[in-house]
Structure 1
């Protein structure tokens, strides 16, 4: 007997992108089920820095990162590392990353990133209001600090690009920084404050609140580890790790760093890699933090959450299988202790999570090659929270046959 195809949409992944998309689809009258291998907010949505970094329009893949990378790679606990056991496996991705660093490609990526940032910022507050989470939004800005005039000067082309896109910021000396954030070590002589930098009270609690809202509106979240996808007439067949299959009308693939593995079942080889991010969350009284502080030359940030002070960042390109190297968390915490002399470093909780990253720093948003019944929404790197509301709107537009709010060609999953 032929298995009937379930109507509606199945979203694979209950992180912030998947749940935001599910809510946007549900608001448009579609029946939505979310499948999640663990639990809502179990991955990168739980441990990120909590920032809506709408001013971060410059791709990670850039000439600047190429200049810094050799020095960083020499330090196994520094801002960028590749475990030797993973070096050969990541080589094809690194080649694509290198190609994406050309000036012409950076200009195209910046334009696309800016469009998605503008859409996401415009969509955010209406989305927060709709989901009852507006009280979690903070507008405390971000302070990028530098250890010399020369380091500030090196950053100026990036700030010029932001100015051309209407992003507000102001450069300042040590006295100006002290007014915004007292307690910085004297080694930091210059800074740039970006007032339009938003954050969320706690990214895990926010994502869990989205899950609650989705369920309250009639949405269903099921625990299931999806092991394969197959295009069929009129829909998509989903296989799960327990040996079961189900046939559904449409699918949104938003499984973060695991997404490319499932896309292979649809005949796609999408170059998604895993940035393993580390942090330590200290008690709330660990430091009098008044704005998010970015130590760009060292690759980490310090953020005030409602649940504590989070010290984290850096990039370890190490895939999904290697065990965590929490010495990276410890190294960042030790630097934070030196850079913020009043910081109390005790009582912290360490975390490691997977950031899904594409070589050109742009996510994959669009239909699968094999079937229009599958829409991809993954690969946001450090910007999943930031771009979640905008991505949700684009996914909803695609699945309801509406023109998309921005041109999504630059985000095509098939662009490589």
Structure 2
């Protein structure tokens, strides 16, 4: 390292070992590994720590979509209108287990406040900037990591059961149109030509051809881990509970020293941030899915059943039916009746779907009440950088986040304004 390096020489300290890497990334999901690769590409030595290993969390079981057209925050007036009806159904698109309701009340209050028109406009602008950067970074990142053949460009079809549901969606599409996002509204016949076999109860749809996906999110994340290791990176299975700023770096759990730490531990990240005195209101959207064997349906594009809160995706490893939101934290046991309910609906909506032989999954989506991730330095020290809270969009925003974190760590000006993503905004 030269004299302008942000990684000064380790001065030594009792009970500590010198840093073996310039940066330690906590989290081996898609955001953590993408960030590790971006840092590695800038000439830094990087070690990744994860409590379970690569692709063990939400990065394994998501729908596999790069949803660059989803510029509208989840925290919005539209969700507030739907939420009361959804909450009445314990197996519906949105649920809060009664035993968790009191604990999540402060988060729900923040979410409600984030739904004001002014805050939605602010969040949409920030989300759009991050989406644009992530889209621009994606294919170069895939090419550099040897994963470009896993990219698919089959689009997405959002379907509507009533004219009222379609009309309610139009303001969102108008917002996308103002940003230049391409889409096509369709009637039932046009939908049938694009994707045969949709039940006639769905009378209209909107197709977005620019919607990309990955062949399989778990295999993609594992491929990133393989590339990272091939370039000299180290991945260790190790849980992290605390960080402490010390002279020359950051102490991890009192036993290891790093010149710089990136916290990208998904739904567990706020627990680590708490050790630095920061109370970041991260909650867990527990997502459920069932992955059916390949060939369970002749699926030609991803289908979003927005009124029911789930999608059906065609992966290289099978047909995945999943989504919905259960705000239930990290400790409650899974309620796989939610997976069963989505699968039953998928069968009704796509009568040709073969529902035999499926594998169920539940994972934790890290979500912040304003629908934006935190990307920025810790208050206690600029030697800790946060990159978590992407909600449903971790895969989508992984390449863009990786670039931004690499710029922060190396002392360069970030490609976009990170004020809306500040960890201290709460």
Decide: shared fold, TM above 0.5: yes
Residue among 10, 18, 28 paired with 2:32: 18
Question: How far is 1:5 from its partner?
Answer: 3.8
Q: How does 1:251-290 map to 2 (within 5 A)?
A: 251-290=261-300
CA distance in structure 1 between the aligned counterparts of 2:336 and 2:357, rounded to whole angstroms: 15
Q: CA–CA distance in 1 between the matches of 2:17 and 2:87? A: 53
2-structure distance, mates of 1:402, 1:4: 28
Paired position in structure 1 for 2:9: none
Quick check: 1:58–1:158 contact (8 Å CA) kept in 2?
A: yes
CA displacement 1:49-103 (0-9 Å, x = unmatched): 0000000000000000000000000000000000000000000000000000000
Instruction: Give the Cα–Cα distance (whole angstroms) in 1 for the partners of residues 248 and 202 of structure 2.
Output: 60
* Partner deviation per Cα, 1:352-395 (whole Å, 9 max, x = no partner): 00000000000000000000000000000000000000000000
Give the aligned CA root-mean-square deviation in angstroms. Answer: 0.7
Structure 2 CA distance, aligned partners of 1:172 and 1:287?
Answer: 22
TM-score scaled to structure 1, two decimals? 0.98
Q: Aligned residue for 1:60?
A: 74
Structure-1 separation of matches of 2:17 and 2:36? 23
Task: Give the Cα–Cα distance (whole angstroms) in 2 for the partners of residues 27 and 207 of structure 1.
Answer: 17
Q: Distance in 1 between matches of 2:388 and 2:395?
A: 12
How far does residue 247 in structure 1 lie from its aligned partner after superposition? 1.1
CA distance in 1, matches of 2:181, 2:247: 47
Helix, strand or coil at the partner of 2:22 = strand
CA shift, 1:270, in A, is 0.1
Q: For 2:17 and 2:271, locate their aligned partners in 1 and report how far apart those are by CA, in whole Å.
A: 26
Q: Which residue of 1 aligns with 2:309?
A: 299
Specify the alignment match of 2:233 in structure 1. 219
User: 1:393 — aligned with what?
Assistant: 403
Task: Pick from 81, 95, 119 the counterpart of residue 81 of structure 1.
Answer: 95
Equivalent of 1:351, from 353, 361, 377? 361
Q: 2:291 is paired with a residue of what secondary structure?
A: strand
C-alpha distance in 2 between matches for 1:5 and 1:92 = 41
Aligned match for 1:323, one of 321, 324, 333: 333
Which residue of structure 2 lines up, in the alignment, with residue 384 of structure 1?
394
- Conserved 8 A contact 2:241-2:275: no
In 1, distance between residues paired with 2:208 and 2:265?
31
**Using the alignment, how far apart are the partners of 1:252 and 1:19 within structure 2?**
11
Runs of 4+, deviation exceeding 3 Å: none
- Report the Cα offset of residue 4 of structure 1: 4.6
Secondary structure class of the residue paired with 1:110:
helix
2:258 equivalent to 1:230: no
Q: Is the 8 A contact 2:260 2:383 kept in 1?
A: yes
Aligned pair partner of 2:201 in 187, 195, 214: 187
1:336 and 1:210 mapped to 2: Cα distance?
A: 32
Q: What is aligned with 1:32?
A: 46
2:164 corresponds, among 141, 150, 160, to 150
TM-score by length of 2: 0.96
For the residues of structure 2 that align with 1:219 and 1:104, how far apart are their CA atoms?
44
Task: Decide which of 389, 396, 406 is 2:416's aligned counterpart.
Answer: 406
Residue pairs, 1:123-142, within 5 angstroms: 123-142=137-156
Specify the alignment match of 2:116 in structure 1: 102
Unaligned runs of 5+ in 2: 1-12
SS at match of 1:286: coil
